[in-house]
Amino acid sequence: MAETTTDQARQAEPESTSAETTPRFNSFKEFYPFYLNEHSNLTCRRLHFVGTALVIGLLLTALLTQNWALLAVLPVAGYGFAWVGHFFFEHNRPATFKNPLYSLWGDFVMFKDILLGKIER
């Protein structure tokens, strides 16, 4: 019985990204394949796409209307959808925790790649 509980606990733990196993990257070009691997679940990618689209839309709306309060919603819109994707569908920790700038850039590059059909929608 104890072995079953241990096995279930192991299965519930994030598989890919942890502080100990996240490699260091010297460039975004090195990082992006790792980023895509951390986003292999289709639902997770779709949630990232929605979050990134909301961020772009909110940012453009804030700039066009000069409603700067909208900028406060950007992190919630972007990270909210992404983290739901990671924690409930991808079952890993977002790469943002270890590589925040590369991860942010990765979100926008993946968004572009999905729009261009380079990555499955």
Give the span between the Cα atoms of 67 and 108, in whole angstroms.
23
User: Which token pair is 16?
Assistant: 């890919």
pLDDT in tens, 51-70: 999 999 999 999 999 999 99
pLDDT at 9: 33
pTM for this prediction: 0.78
Please report, in angstroms and rounded to a whole number, the separation of the first and last CA atoms in the chain: 41
Q: How many Cα atoms are found within 13 Å in the side-chain-facing hemisphere of 30?
A: 7
pLDDT in tens, 16-32: 444 456 688 999 999 99
